[in-house]
Amino acid sequence: QVQLVESGGGLVEPGGSLRLSCAASGFTFTAHAMGWFRRAAGKERECVAAITTLSGVTDYAPSVKGRFTISRDNARSTLTLQMNRLEPEDTAVYFCAPVRGNIIRGWSPRFDSWGQGTQVFVSS
């Protein structure tokens, strides 16, 4: 079965940095584009970053572009989200997931499987 384990969240001051990690298993990691999603309190889950499988092309939501960097390690089946210059609006639970879609239409989860997520809290 699909297993997604997020880690690295925590409390950080505005302007600070945090690195999230995702350990994936139960599917062919290299065959899927991967993405990071976040769910803020009272808001819908949204995709903030994605990385393709073929050439590792990245895509970001406008709200995080220039501040977040998504990367993947296919040898270890891990996904990383480096978050810099964090803002209070970044406060959310962050999830990783295989995704489908493209830069033009956006990204959605490939499977209906989610990990526990990791909480990021940016104090104001």
Q: Name the band, by pLDDT with cuts 50, 70 and 90, for residue 67.
A: very high
Average pLDDT value for residue range 4-31: 97
Q: Which long-range contacts (CB under 8 A, 24 or more apart) does 57-64 make?
A: 57/103, 59/103, 59/107, 63/89, 64/90
Count CB neighbours of 112 within 10 A. 7
73-94 confidence digits (pLDDT tens): 999 999 999 999 999 999 999 9
For residue 111, the SS3 value is coil
The first and second tokens of residue 120, run together, are 């990021």
Residue for token pair 């978050």: 83
The secondary structure of the chain in percent helix, strand, coil, rounded to multiples of 5, reads 5, 50, 45
Beta bridge partners of 60: 49
Q: What percent of the chain has pLDDT over 70?
A: 100
The first and second tokens of residue 104, run together, are 């033009």
Q: What is the pLDDT of residue 58?
A: 96
24-61 confidence digits (pLDDT tens): 999 999 999 999 999 999 999 999 999 999 778 999 99
